[in-house]
Chains A and B, each alone.
Chain A
Amino acid sequence: MSTASPNTQQAAASPALLEVENLTVRFRLGRQNEFTALHGISYAVAPNQTVALVGESGSGKTVSALAVMDLLPRTNTIITPESRLRFNGEPLLEESPAQRRLRCGGQISMIFQDPMTSLNPVYSVGEQLVEILQLHAICPTRAAARARAIELLGEVGIPDPRQKVKSYPHELSGGQQQRVMIAMAIACAPRLLIADEPTTALDVTIQQQILELLVNLKRSRGMSMLFITHDLALVREVADRVVVMNQGHIRESGATGQIFEAPADNYTRALLACRPRIDRRPVKLPVVEDFMKGSYDIDSVAERERGVDSDDTVVLEVDHLRKTYPVKTGWFGEKQFVAVDDVSFRLARGKTLGIVGESGSGKTTLGKAILRLHEAQGGSVRMNGVDLLKLSRAEFQPYKRQMQIVFQNPYASLNPRFTISDILLEPMRIHNLHAGDAERIEHATALLRQVGLSASDLRKYPHEFSGGQLQRISIARCLALKPDILVCDEPVSALDVSVQAQVLNLFQALQDEFAISYLFISHDLNVVKYISDEIMVMHNGAMVEYGNADELYRNPQHPYTQRLLAAIPGRQRHS
């Protein structure tokens, strides 16, 4: 690696708190099968330093952290003898499991991606904090531990900690849960905090607050931090050094400024470029392959013009749509929870309407209500003048052909017991398209080619594909019906950055070719900006702003929209 010299300089200046040297981790998968997750990686974390491990899924970034924490399953993990892990100069790999466990929580602690599953749902947050404090003998008595727990909750910015200490995880919001996790992690004053995707499961605005909290805590407590994430843009604001990983290898490591200003490695360059940016809209997004082949000039690609004119043909008219859920209150009471409230919009042929909002804003419910996957309680959805909500099931059947949906999680939306051929032929069989199965198979093959897969994939099962390929297959399934409207419910959120770009390019190519209209639901403001002609911002079920994409981003009117746009990671430096 070309970046070895700054690394050694740093180590000479101050002895590293954590040194990972030549770490190779293998997993036993079967009797003979082995999978090498890490190929001899080395990095170091100095005191008071934040190091970011950045990589896509399967890059081994989390495995290296788990190896430091001794959390890898003992039964099938092999850490090769050449590997060295030193914490504060002491070799970790030579210690007994009991010694390792004592370090966990005490000197090294970790926070995980999903706070909801990391907290025990049957104990109050106070009890969980007290348990840690007593386990590591920080506080001698229960009362002292309780008082300390309240202090800690205050420190991580939970409002009214005296009351909240008694609450259970489900009574807290996602952001507050993550704050509690952070409180637990810092309870024993660790010297190293490992944060594994701490903000990925959170909404944009909350993400920003948690990041600030982590940075402040690190500064005030003099901790070191190992920050693991897939999002390179996020890292810029928190990290001193960045380590870019790919498939168990370190591609590049260096100071944050150098990585962002002058990336040496093609993969790093690709990661930086293939995220859609808020200020640019190329005709085609660059993908990792473009960079791996050699130099690729982003600025050479033309910009795409977007926006809706008044003379575009309208294919879908939604007026005053309302969707409520009954919520039980007490034993007998019931009240209506309004998930979507008075939403109206027009969708033009061949255009994209982006729907933006945080979790719980009703954007997914809106999409499903339009497709009648959920029953709406009011308003109308009109296509060619016919109100779809008033039709009977049988009358609605032909309209299902014209509106299709792509779900967020491609692993869940394809039936695991069906072959790809079953999956692609089914819609044609249900709607009786084409004469006979031979013709349908021919069409399915053509569809697969269109989304970038090959005919031999027809006989495979979903588990043999990667997430990005599966999302292509679910797009092909929708295309089998030649729909006019495609509802895309967070279609790229579950995908890796580089795959995201490929799928977005596919969406764009299909729109250019077939003039399909998209209803593109996403919490990712960069992605929505890239793909949308118009944008609707939703907040608590209501539509707060609706207009042409460029105008809305340039000049947001509603305070909520302004807050949302301000929270985009890395925005300050770009503009």
Chain B
Amino acid sequence: MTAPAKSSSAPVSEGFWRAAGRRLFADPLARVCIAIVSVYFVLAALSAAGLIAADWNEEYGVSYANPWFLGEDYPNPQGRNSLISQETMVIDDKQRAVDPLAPYYDEIEERAMQYQLTQRELRWTLPLGADKWGRDLVRKVIKAGEISITVGIGAALLAVMVGTFLGAIGGFFGGRTSDFLEWVYNVFTSVPYILLVLAFAAVTGKGINTIILVLGFTGWTSVYRLIRAEYIKQRSRDYVAAADALGASSARKVFIHILPNVSHLSLVQLSQLVVDFIKAEVILSFLGLGVPPDSVSWGIMINEVMTELVLGKWWQLATVAIVMSVFVVSFGLFTDLLRDALDPKATRR
């Protein structure tokens, strides 16, 4: 009799989230998307832990080293076939006669020997090639992914928390509270988005945390709007009136009764914003207001591409574009399928 919930052997009932998870995993496309996205997350986590790509900033190859599949002989001023241009200069009497520094060459070399460091032998080719400073693009794109994904998820979490909280308060209480929040919302949305972000960034300076804060505090508006509307709808539902009749406090009604019934919307918003913010970070970095120059993100990589393309060095662009698109597309698809799974009525096709 006591604690019958524990002793009974009835099968565990399927809650809302469990059922949604089952519906999500029933879709093969969703399984593929989840697999791809998890690979990215694992790489980002390993990179954040310093286990891989910690040495992304070091010189592994010659400047603009070719990717493997192009080989060493692909026409490239810095490739192996350009060695002719690097032939050592022969210093003969004729040279000495015109070169005022010539008498000191020996001394210079002697001094330089003292500072000689053990230098890695630079490769002529790397798996995906190298950038201008000879950095390995594989390591670079992993490190950049870590930063971009961190920024995207951090900012999306912040935006969803702010938006959900304000939306819940505004939608549930209505009246003056709602008016005030609507006013704030209108001010935020009346300023062009990119201008707002630039203004925030200009005031707070550079840094990854800054970007997260900037994107989070400017991106909450869509979540706020959605959650507010949902709370207005839910607050007049019978189960809220029933909670009221039982004597539940407002906080209890807002966060314990209604929130679980709207949280799937927040979740979908979260995953949509992750993609949006990764793209926004790219734009910000492209404009030079993003991640500081001593670190790297997908946006910075795209920014660097501008000057390289003129030289015919397309592999950094190809790498970052493919890596980023695969992530954005599979995360976006995952978001769509998640929304379908959370709303069983919408899945009838």
Are these two chains actual partners, yes or no? yes
B247 near A414 (CB under 8 angstroms)? Answer: no
A157 CB to nearest chain B CB (Å): 35
B13 near A445 (CB under 8 angstroms)? Answer: no
- Beyond A371-B245, A445-B4, is A461–B239 a contact (Cβ under 8 Å)? no
Shortest Cβ distance from A73 into B: residue: B348
- Beyond A373-B245, A427-B247, A431-B247, is A438–B13 a contact (Cβ under 8 Å)? no
Q: Which of A394-421 contact B (CB under 8 A)?
A: 397, 400-401, 403-405, 407-409, 412-419, 421
Report if A386 contacts B (CB, 8 A): no
Report if A458 contacts B (CB, 8 A): yes
Report if B192 contacts A (CB, 8 A): no
How far, in angstroms, from A445 to B246 measured CA to CA in the complex? 19
- Measured between beta carbons, the chain B residues less than 8 angstroms from A368 are 241
- Measured between beta carbons, the chain B residues less than 8 angstroms from A269 are none
B245 near A456 (CB under 8 angstroms)? Answer: no
B272 CB to nearest chain A CB (Å): 22
Report if B110 contacts A (CB, 8 A): no
Report if A61 contacts B (CB, 8 A): no
- Beyond A412-B237, A421-B5, A458-B4, is A75–B349 a contact (Cβ under 8 Å)? yes
Report if A464 contacts B (CB, 8 A): yes
A461 near B242 (CB under 8 angstroms)? Answer: no
How far, in angstroms, from A561 to B17 measured CA to CA in the complex? 51
Report if B15 contacts A (CB, 8 A): yes
How far, in angstroms, from A330 to B124 measured CA to CA in the complex? 80
- Measured between beta carbons, the chain A residues less than 8 angstroms from B15 are 417, 419, 461
- Beyond A417-B260, A461-B13, is A75–B348 a contact (Cβ under 8 Å)? yes
- Measured between beta carbons, the chain B residues less than 8 angstroms from A441 are 2-5
- Measured between beta carbons, the chain A residues less than 8 angstroms from B260 are 415, 417-418
Q: How large is the interface on B (under 10, 10 to 19, 20 to 34, 35 or more residues)?
A: 20 to 34
A410 CB to nearest chain B CB (Å): 9
- Beyond A75-B348, A373-B245, A412-B238, is A460–B4 a contact (Cβ under 8 Å)? no
Report if B92 contacts A (CB, 8 A): no
B235 CB to nearest chain A CB (Å): 12
Which one, A407, A419, A426, A460, contacts B238 given CB within 8 A?
A: A407
Q: Which of B1-18 contact A (CB under 8 A)?
A: 1-5, 8, 10, 12-16
Report if B279 contacts A (CB, 8 A): no
Which one of A415, A426, A442, A481 has the highest number of Cβ atoms from chain B below 10 Å of its Cβ? A415
B16 near A417 (CB under 8 angstroms)? Answer: yes
- Measured between beta carbons, the chain B residues less than 8 angstroms from A430 are 246-248, 252
How far, in angstroms, from A76 to B347 measured CA to CA in the complex? 13
B231 CB to nearest chain A CB (Å): 15
- Measured between beta carbons, the chain B residues less than 8 angstroms from A445 are 1, 4
How far, in angstroms, from A421 to B244 measured CA to CA in the complex? 18
A459 near B13 (CB under 8 angstroms)? Answer: yes
Report if B209 contacts A (CB, 8 A): no
How far, in angstroms, from A31 to B347 measured CA to CA in the complex? 14
Report if A268 contacts B (CB, 8 A): no
Report if A455 contacts B (CB, 8 A): yes
Chain A, 426-440, contact with B by CB distance < 8 Å: what is the 0/1 string? 110011000000100
- Measured between beta carbons, the chain B residues less than 8 angstroms from A417 are 15-16, 260-261
B323 CB to nearest chain A CB (Å): 35
Report if A322 contacts B (CB, 8 A): no
Report if B132 contacts A (CB, 8 A): no
A459 near B10 (CB under 8 angstroms)? Answer: yes
How far, in angstroms, from A445 to B8 measured CA to CA in the complex? 12
Report if B225 contacts A (CB, 8 A): no
Shortest Cβ distance from A415 into B: residue: B239
A394 CB to nearest chain B CB (Å): 10
How far, in angstroms, from A539 to B16 measured CA to CA in the complex? 43
How far, in angstroms, from A481 to B248 measured CA to CA in the complex? 13
Report if A477 contacts B (CB, 8 A): yes
A326 CB to nearest chain B CB (Å): 14
How far, in angstroms, from A468 to B16 measured CA to CA in the complex? 21
Q: Which of A473-491 contact B (CB under 8 A)?
A: 474, 477, 481
Shortest Cβ distance from A437 into B: residue: B3
- Beyond A407-B238, A414-B239, A417-B16, is A456–B246 a contact (Cβ under 8 Å)? no
A415 near B257 (CB under 8 angstroms)? Answer: yes
- Measured between beta carbons, the chain B residues less than 8 angstroms from A421 are 5
A456 near B8 (CB under 8 angstroms)? Answer: yes
A461 near B16 (CB under 8 angstroms)? Answer: yes
- Measured between beta carbons, the chain A residues less than 8 angstroms from B349 are 75
Chain B, 73-93, contact with A by CB distance < 8 Å: what is the 0/1 string? 000000000000000000000
- Beyond A430-B247, A461-B16, is A456–B4 a contact (Cβ under 8 Å)? yes
- Beyond A405-B242, A441-B4, A458-B4, is A416–B16 a contact (Cβ under 8 Å)? yes
- Measured between beta carbons, the chain A residues less than 8 angstroms from B242 are 405, 407, 413-414, 474, 477
Shortest Cβ distance from A398 into B: residue: B247
A459 near B12 (CB under 8 angstroms)? Answer: yes
- Beyond A409-B238, A459-B12, A460-B13, is A404–B245 a contact (Cβ under 8 Å)? yes
Which one, A31, A397, A408, A455, contacts B4 given CB within 8 A?
A: A455
Which one, A401, A415, A416, A418, contacts B247 given CB within 8 A?
A: A401
A196 CB to nearest chain B CB (Å): 21
Which one of A417, A419, A459 has the highest number of Cβ atoms from chain B below 10 Å of its Cβ? A417
Which one, A407, A461, A464, A481, contacts B241 given CB within 8 A?
A: A407
B261 near A419 (CB under 8 angstroms)? Answer: no
How far, in angstroms, from A412 to B239 measured CA to CA in the complex? 6
How far, in angstroms, from A319 to B348 measured CA to CA in the complex? 53
A400 near B245 (CB under 8 angstroms)? Answer: yes
B42 CB to nearest chain A CB (Å): 31
- Measured between beta carbons, the chain A residues less than 8 angstroms from B239 are 412-416
- Measured between beta carbons, the chain A residues less than 8 angstroms from B10 are 456, 459
A423 CB to nearest chain B CB (Å): 9
- Measured between beta carbons, the chain A residues less than 8 angstroms from B248 are 426, 430
B249 CB to nearest chain A CB (Å): 8
- Measured between beta carbons, the chain B residues less than 8 angstroms from A76 are 348
B308 CB to nearest chain A CB (Å): 50
How far, in angstroms, from A404 to B244 measured CA to CA in the complex? 10
How far, in angstroms, from A401 to B247 measured CA to CA in the complex? 8
Which one, B2, B238, B241, B244, contacts A438 given CB within 8 A?
A: B2
How far, in angstroms, from A414 to B246 measured CA to CA in the complex? 12
Shortest Cβ distance from B4 into A: residue: A455
A465 CB to nearest chain B CB (Å): 11
Which one of A368, A397, A413 has the highest number of Cβ atoms from chain B below 10 Å of its Cβ? A413
B62 CB to nearest chain A CB (Å): 56
How far, in angstroms, from A217 to B8 measured CA to CA in the complex? 59
How far, in angstroms, from A445 to B4 measured CA to CA in the complex? 8
Chain B, 296-338, contact with A by CB distance < 8 Å: what is the 0/1 string? 0000000000000000000000000000000000000000000
- Measured between beta carbons, the chain A residues less than 8 angstroms from B2 are 438, 441-442
B191 CB to nearest chain A CB (Å): 30
B30 CB to nearest chain A CB (Å): 15
Chain B, 230-270, contact with A by CB distance < 8 Å: what is the 0/1 string? 00000001110111111110001000010011000000000
| Contact surface of A with B, Cβ cutoff 8 Å | 31, 73, 75-76, 368, 371, 373, 397, 400-401, 403-405, 407-409, 412-419, 421, 426-427, 430-431, 438, 441-442, 445, 455-456, 458-461, 464, 474, 477, 481
A selection of 17 A-B contacts at a CB cut-off of 8 Å is: A371-B245, A373-B241, A403-B245, A407-B242, A413-B239, A417-B16, A426-B246, A441-B5, A455-B5, A456-B4, A458-B5, A459-B13, A461-B13, A461-B14, A474-B242, A477-B242, A477-B246
Given contacts A414-B239, A418-B260, 20 further A-B contacts (CB under 8 A): A73-B348, A75-B349, A373-B244, A400-B246, A403-B245, A404-B246, A408-B238, A412-B237, A413-B238, A416-B261, A417-B15, A417-B261, A427-B246, A455-B4, A455-B8, A456-B4, A458-B4, A459-B10, A460-B13, A461-B15
User: What are the 10 A-B residue pairs with the smallest beta carbon separation, nearest first?
Assistant: A413-B238, A417-B260, A455-B4, A456-B10, A400-B247, A412-B238, A460-B13, A456-B8, A427-B246, A407-B238
